[in-house]
Amino acid sequence: MAQVVLEEVNKEYGSVRAVVDVNLTVADGEFVVLVGPSGCGKSTTLRMVAGLEEITRGLIRIGERVVNRLPPKDRDIAMVFQNYALYQHMTVYDNLAFGLRNRKVREADIKTEVMRAAAVLGIEQLLSRKPRELSGGQQQRVALGRCVVRHPQVFLFDEPLSNLDAKLRAQMRIELKRLRERVATTSIYVTHDQVEAMTLGDRVVVMLDGRIQQVATPLEIYNRPRNRFVAGFIGAPAMNFLSVELQNIDDHLHAVAENFRIRVPQDRVSELACQRARAVVLGVRPEHVLMGEPRPEHGTGFDANVEVTEQLGAELLVAVRAGGTTVLASRVDAEATLALHQPLRLSLDPRGLHFFDRESGEAIR
């Protein structure tokens, strides 16, 4: 096991900057998830760590070694690919043994290792089959086995679950967590799925346009997003954004919109003070959009019309239209019955307010 350090890593394809000044330290044994929309440079970053892409500028260290010029085979890493990338002409056993044979391990030891990895992943009965005879989930397990069997310093995962259907994906997510407990190897995991990012990562790295937007634990990313992009990207349904102005009303700082106002909690006042009388963006997650009038000291609620409802069983997602074009989503008790265009009175939970600069999108802290 080893730590992985990326220092000022850049990747350019001609004039296109795919990865820009990435700095990241993945601690020994840590599981870090790179997440972002397609084309954000997360896979390119991973492939640079793997050695499958050259690094235009910057430094990558695995353990104590700078690996910039090392070919993938000498980096002591293992990688799981989106489409499994199993060797189609070999049996599962040979797939698992391939990496060990390349390292000239004795055949008897290979057998022990393969059996051990197969037991960990529950694929013992598949060892004599060819990859094409396996289901997607089984293939993915074999791909994981191919990594586990080698005891590498670092695991790299390139969207390993995105080819699986939703149910299997949830199941494999749990298996990955279980695998982590048994094999605590430093891991970098790339995904575009924010649920995977939230559930799997010790820390999450959100990327956009080749740049890191925020590195933090899943909860911190969720609760304290550093900018508007991170706030909107992490969390489903996504955060609502409203244009508000910060004003002093009765000696208290309020966020004021056309149709409602809400008092800023006392602990946030100092960080927002310098933004007074300026238009800012208020972000509020659906679970912080509440039904009913707020307590009077918290401000006023607003009228809205139900536009769409999505019944999820445990809860009901409601999209409403309020004050012109603003669309808000809200989570409601599943038992609630809401008719289309039904008028509602809604309010915002003052504990769930996020403020962003209108121009830069940076969180105001």
Partner 1 sequence: MTALCTTRSDRPYCWTDALAPGGRRAFFWLATIAIVLLFLGPIVILVVTSLRPGWAVFYIYRGTDFTLQNYRDVLATEAVIHAFVNSFLVATLATIVSIGVTVSSGYMLSRFRGPIPRAWFGTIYVFRTVPYISWVLPLYLVCYHLGIYDTYAGILLPHIAVHICFFSWIMKGFFDGIDPSMEYAALVDGCTRWGAFLRVALPSAIPAIAALGILSWLYTWNEFLFALILTGHNTALITVTMAQFVTELGTAWNLMSAMAVMAMGPAIIITLFAQKYVVRGLRI
What is the rounded CA–CA span in Å between residue 23 and residue 212? 8
- Tell me how far, at minimum, the Cβ of 291 lies from partner 1, in Å: 48
- Of residues 132 and 295, the one with the C-beta less far from partner 1: 132
- Of residues 102 and 305, the one with the C-beta less far from partner 1: 102
* Contact assessment for residue 349 and residue 358, using Cβ atoms and an 8 Å cutoff: no
- Tell me how far, at minimum, the Cβ of 179 lies from partner 1, in Å: 18
- Tell me how far, at minimum, the Cβ of 58 lies from partner 1, in Å: 21
Cα→Cα distances 274→57, 77, 282, 307, Å: 39, 49, 16, 37
- Of residues 121 and 253, the one with the C-beta less far from partner 1: 121
- Of residues 3 and 83, the one with the C-beta less far from partner 1: 83
- Of residues 183 and 364, the one with the C-beta less far from partner 1: 183
Contact residues toward partner 1 (CB under 8 A) are: 50-52, 71-73, 75, 77-79, 81-83, 85-89, 98-99, 102-103, 146, 150, 156
Burial of 136 (0-12, 13-18, 19+ CB in 10 A): middle
- Tell me how far, at minimum, the Cβ of 72 lies from partner 1, in Å: 4
- Tell me how far, at minimum, the Cβ of 132 lies from partner 1, in Å: 11
- Tell me how far, at minimum, the Cβ of 134 lies from partner 1, in Å: 15
- Of residues 143 and 230, the one with the C-beta less far from partner 1: 143
- Of residues 116 and 278, the one with the C-beta less far from partner 1: 116
- Of residues 155 and 356, the one with the C-beta less far from partner 1: 155
- Tell me how far, at minimum, the Cβ of 118 lies from partner 1, in Å: 17
- Tell me how far, at minimum, the Cβ of 147 lies from partner 1, in Å: 9
